[in-house]
Amino acid sequence: MGQDNRSAASSQQVAQVDNSQDEKSLLLHNSPFMKACRREKTERTPIWLMRQAGRYMKEFREIRSRVTLLELCKTPELACEVTVHAQEKLGVDAAIIFSDILVPLDALGVGLDYVKGEGPVIERPLRQESELDSLPELDVRESLSYVMQAISLTRKALKPDIPLLGFAAAPFTLASYLIEGGSSRNYENTKTMMYCRPELWQRLMSKIVSISIDYLNAQIEAGAQAVQVFDSWMGCLSVPDYQKFSHPYSAQLIAGIKKDVPVIHFGTGNVHLLPLMKTAGASVLGLDWRVDLAKKWDELGDNIAVQGNLDPCVLFADQRYIRSTTENLLASVASKPGYIFNLGHGVLPPTDVDNVRFLVDLVHDYKG
């Protein structure tokens, strides 16, 4: 299976890294996060948080009061600043480049905007063959160069032992935004295309896969040590629909990513899809709080790492509650190599930053 090849290769890689790479690469290679991705033992459980640079931080809000979300994404110096600031303020074991999964849609010229209270809006949603035909060929190194510049700056600014993650949406998730014209509750137009226009669906997904492979590899070349694929909305699909309309494209995307780079495959509400999801080939599965993590990891087998899965709302509780819930989770999974602590989804805007720091310390100080 994909993740076995991926991991086997990266284990053989150690000697090569020792000989040929410089000290900085070794520091990164031996960081707790990278070790956990390879299912090697770590001295402490690594932790990072989705949306760790976000509106819950006053320094972030201060910057966002001056620029729009897209302007922030498109200004490498600012994207670098918020990325590095969050990592340092929280003391987490990895940084993720500040950006948005939808910037490729901006590059495709379909009119991406973020409307207050509504989230992302696509001015010209794609529903017809002709709309697909009229999308431009994308050279992501050109049209999304600001992401690669941000990664390059951030790699230089981060401490040398802190891995930097790149990321992209999984094909189904990106397609659903493009087709629905924004967030969705029922994915009506997306599923209609899947069921009624399977050949159009296939063409669209293949185009997205090809763009996304280029995009993730460009991020890796620019300085990312690992990547996360946000298959965030896969959970809205039945098992046969996921198998037919989504899984093949996620698998193609993951297979196209440079070898020896860990891939975290993240989804929510997807308990029913886990065995299939594993066969898409990632090194790490990122899961949400609906999964009994210890039990499902057992069922999935030892040849895959896992990341997750505290409910982000637990950070609204008092520290006594945060401690007991976190320690229960750690007790169930942290003794096995290949576990990365994270929330089950992004940090929510009303979260108290002190509770996030408290969580990071809890995970670091935990003795199983």
Q: Which of 6, 127, 191, 247 binds a copy of itself (CB under 8 A)?
A: 191
Kind and range of the H or E run holding 155: helix 145-157
292 sits near a copy of itself (criterion: CB under 8 A): yes
CA–CA separation, 130 and 291 (whole Å): 41
CA angle 359, 365, 366 (to 5 degrees): 90
Binder to a copy of itself among 192, 298, 354, 368 (CB under 8 A)?
A: 192
Write down the least CB distance from residue 90 to a copy of itself, Å. Answer: 21
Least separation in angstroms between CB 276 and a copy of itself: 11
Tell me which amino acid residue 268 is: T
* Distance from C-alpha of 319 to C-alpha of 74, rounded to nearest angstrom: 37
Structure token digits, residue 303: 């040849």
| 188 vs 298, beta carbon nearer a copy of itself | 188
Smallest distance from the beta carbon of 96 to a copy of itself, in angstroms?
Answer: 20
CB 302 within 8 A of CB 336: yes
SS3 at position 124: coil
Which tokens in the block code for residue 330? 């750690």
Q: State the catalytic residues.
A: 51, 55, 64, 100, 177
- Interface positions, 309-348, toward a copy of itself (CB under 8 A): 311-314, 316-318, 321, 328, 348
CB atoms within 10 A of CB 66: 9
Contact region for a copy of itself (CB under 8 A) — 166-174, 213-221, 247-255, 286-294? 286-294
Query: Residue 221, interface with a copy of itself (CB under 8 A)?
Result: no
Which parts of 196-215 interact with a copy of itself (CB under 8 A)?
A: 196
The residues, ordered by sequence, that sit 6+ positions from 89 with a Cβ below 8 Å of its Cβ are 57, 59, 353, 357
Segment interacting with a copy of itself, rule: CB under 8 A, options 53-61, 126-134, 181-189, 248-256: 181-189
Which spans of this chain sit near a copy of itself (rule: CB under 8 A)?
Answer: 186-188, 191-192, 195-196, 235-241, 269, 271-272, 289-292, 311-314, 316-318, 321, 328, 348, 350
